[in-house]
Structure 1
């Protein structure tokens, strides 16, 4: 049973509240700026919750999720997924109360960033630019802005309060209880307009100690790393996948003549660094590891296959490549191949891990981009979303995938004296009762060494239950 069933069920009730008054312009911001990043289901979910709060109210009536499923015409898994995305992007806070026989939620709607805040965010605006392209992005900016009024030739003649009004003094206030004027009935709160919160990346996500160890205290005093600067470094490191060594160069390039760290210059330097490393591209917004709602592993894993599934679900493709390389960073060409497949085919990270596992053993531990793209396209058409589904489809379509691999290598193999039979992942061989000795025979020392690294990963997670963190 999928994990989202443990998080929410159709009979669970929920009530909606607003963290401040929302205006019609807020909804326009959400549909034009946020929707391309989080998708239409999230937008519909947010607007539906908003519309359930009547005018001049902060709270809604109580509903259950079965009603929400019918109203949105989507299943509970999609609702759960949409909720997580809204939470992650800062538009929703979720609270839960567990009782003996029931469970209830509060969904608190947060206002979006203003257009000015969004386009200067330094993270969301970069993702949106990459998603829409320069032309559409510029058009959105124009649609959410207007000509600035030139007031240089005008003089401000606005009167102050005391210039217009006069107080009669204490004698006129004798019958007023100041406490009563300020007080509000117990359990009540005033309508208010809350300021939207920017997305924050925890500083623990970045190794500041390593960064500081490479920076001279004399050249870059620690007092320059204010709370704002540290927050910007953490966000840029997350956005562009910059490690502490490369961040050192970026920080140094952003130092001003006044010995201050210019955050805007640091953003430009980080963006330029990423584009140089990725052929002029900008980062895209994707799930970093297999989304919770697409995980099927048992807790704790029971069988060897369960442990491997748990591992592939809990780790990012980049970290999987690092594990395969025994701690060494994967090549830029391998990372770009994986990134392009993820972005183009929209496959979850756990599914990509299965593909890496399968393809590497089929291609002498090399990532063939064309072979990856062909399998990824097939899995996308089949709407593969879980690790187990990917494994089962690889087993079912193995003959077809073998033909694709053989057609590419046919001319090369004809020139070889010895032809090695392709190796397959353990999870594949466990499902095959027709394996022959020839399928398991190693004929080259080089291939055996390369395959050993992948088998070491499998054995490691068979023993410890796959409890590996899903870092980038």
Structure 2
């Protein structure tokens, strides 16, 4: 049913339910990741509905909407807007039933937010958050929620095994299989997951399907994901039905006549982000008939002869030439106990398509940012700045990139070592006071003779006898 046909009134009855209690982690995700998207009113409504729920039964008593109005200090219109925002992002499902005597009765089912990891991996949620808060804040939030790396180097895991401590009869697993399956089934039903959808009134999906039929091509098997992708590109780039169909016609599999989603993404990127041709230096043995092992040996020996090139440098260079940048990003981040986000993959794809750097040099750039600079995210602005610098220096090979990085780091270290201390503000001239001569050269005291001392004592005594009169 459409919400527009069911306007709530202060005396309209509602009840709130939730399948399982919210955890502290759920509440943090709501506050930091969802609130920037849904706004303060929607979050306030969610928490208000949650506060009415009995933790034992998982549901609230029957209440009137005036209770929400009083608690949140929001009007009916604001509550409706907040409710729609919660529904749209999947935090709330609204059910309505009409009663002859009581009118419309509502049930508000609160849904758990996504975990932080699933939130950042979800294209719709992560891109929406990025558009709201910007790249800098997005990266800060990502760093806040990403799994923390604990250094246990040198430690040995001596934890006890389950079977060493607890009694466990493996035969019981088989005998109780039906009971266990029942429990699993009940748990799956306890927390329903409603997939987010991207809808657009400006894109006629049925007309788009008609165009595909005219081309004689079919949708891929994952139709729901494909539709979400098409609508996302429509909303972000303004691609209409005709243009999208023409791009899809260049992206289908000739054997199955089905659209290849990855190929369509490439067609869209090439159409809207013209690709620059990468500069590449071919090795001297390019035209020689050598096996892969012989080529690898040639490459290793040529790098070995380079001055100040360690075995680690050689390994990084040779690895950079084996993998595509997106795959290399995943490998490097996983090696650092991190995971790549869709935004980071897009940033890498953007460099591949727009910079003039070879893929191997882009891989060195990825290694430099994540491993050397120890940054947890591959930011577009930072990476593009480095890529432009390297392109300006006409760096065409991974070894040139490593040499350039070492040179820049050495220059930076030299500047830090020779840099004079900096004092804020203008230094005031120091006033040097000239001391009088008697301070520098004090006059030596002369001792009185016995006769003069006796005469002086006599004069003092006479002065005192007169009462101090002169």
In which range does the TM-score fall when normalised by the shorter chain?
0.3 to 0.5
The two structures have a TM-score, normalised by structure 1, of: 0.45
Higher RCO structure, 1 or 2 (CA under 8 Å, sep 6+): 1
